[in-house]
Amino acid sequence: MKTDNTASYKKGEMITVDITDFGENGEGIGKTDAFTWFIKDTVIGDKVTAKVMKTKKSYGYARLESIVNESPDRIEVKCPVARSCGGCTLQSLDYKAELRLKQNKVENHLKRIGGFDLSNVEIEEIIGMEEPIRYRNKSQFPFGRKNGKNITGYFAGRTHSIVEFDDCIIGIEENKTVLQIVLDFMEKYSVEAYNEEDGSGIVRHVLIRKGFATGELMVCIVINANNLPHSDNLVESLCSALGNDLKSVSININKKNTNVILGEKTVTLYGNGYIEDYIGDVKFRISPQSFYQVNPVQTKKLYSKALEYAALTGKETVWDMYCGIGTISLFLAKSAKFVYGVEIVDAAIQNARENAKLNNIENVKFFVGKAEEIITGEYENGNIRDIDVIVVDPPRKGLDKLAIDTMLKLLPKRIVYVSCDSSTLARDLKLLCEKEYELKKLTVVDQFARSYHTESVVVMERK
């Protein structure tokens, strides 16, 4: 068994490694002298043996074989398919240690990528979950065939090979009931799952959503056909099992050879085609296609912190530059003079306008288009004057240069930045704080427990 890199490593070779760090995807990192190894399913403090899978010049990937000495932060994995599924990369890590890891990750990115001296920043304690299980309000399960029978589960990491199971512990308990009903229905009526290789079969995915505040449930069957045979029998079975909580059953038609889950057409089989839920006291109407945060309990905490950082008194004009279906915009509107939301996806803006009406919120206006173009045009046309606060919650890739340049031209008093990727957050903050702004506060929120992803919110004030 090798413990140094005096010679090249070969695939299948066994190594012994002390795990001293975590990688960007939650995998353990260790070294044999100057050679770095990335080993999934390991925890800082573990001493492990691993099998070499792939090597580069100065680093490689290995698969965990056995644990020689356990880390004090290692816990028993609750999910039976955690290793093969790969969705929850931190299942083996004690939750308190997970929170420390995420806090350190964000702070280190701000220091290393952003170049910030955090001694001048008010850093609040990470907001964790009371119970880091059963928190996802949305799940999408692929269907396939194995040994002549229909199966469901999740795709193994970076593959389209289905790991067969029926109960994800970070998903809702009703998932198991729904999946079993669908599988029984398919068996009874000889409805086959979709086959990616030859394009045959019907059922591709089942999407399940739940309103945590309302208890309302939605089931959407994604099919490779124009209709689902005997769908009335499936609806009857779902209604019988889920009772009054079931508010919507639909089929979504996707006959394209694509990795995109949902097609463009959805047909409602039962109910109104949507469910409703609350974040705080703001009600949202959610369709199968709606973007809606998957952890509503933590989302309320995240948005409450964003609202606190915006420091609204009722006199401010606020721009929400990536508003989606209006979740943050409507949350802020109750404390602001007026809120403008911008989103490039037309369907999301339609949802945002509907949600504003649903809540009788009139001090908001939503625009479809690129945020930097809309906000600049409205400003230059004289439609808006002073901009007090800009709120941004961009996708993982962060802000593009034009968006940053726009904010630096408009110079609001405060910028609240909600981020799902602390590396791009640090990069963007560096540009914003070069001359005009000062980073004042940071809070990390554990939105995705048991995975390496996390959310954070910061506020910058004009110097």
322 is in an annotated binding site: yes
Of 133, 124, 175, 174, nearest to 154 by C-alpha is 175
Q: The tokens of 214 are what?
A: 């309302």
In eight-state DSSP terms, residue 244 is G
CB atoms within 10 A of CB 182: 24
Q: Where are the beta strands (DSSP E) in 159-303?
A: 162-164, 203-210, 217-223, 246-253, 265-271, 275-279, 282-286
Cα(49)–Cα(248) distance, integer angstroms: 50
343 is in an annotated binding site: yes
Cα(294)–Cα(87) distance, integer angstroms: 15
Q: Is 420 a catalytic residue?
A: yes
Cα(219)–Cα(238) distance, integer angstroms: 9
Cα(327)–Cα(343) distance, integer angstroms: 12
CA angle 294, 295, 299 (to 5 degrees): 115
292 is in an annotated binding site: no
- For residue 411, the one-letter residue type is L
- For residue 414, the one-letter residue type is R
Q: How far is CA 173 from the centre of its chain?
A: 19
Of 79, 168, 420, 433, catalytic: 420
Residue 403 · residue 372 · CB < 8 Å: yes
76 is in an annotated binding site: no
Residues forming the annotated binding site for S-adenosyl-L-methionine? Answer: 293, 322, 343, 393
Which residues belong to the active site?
420
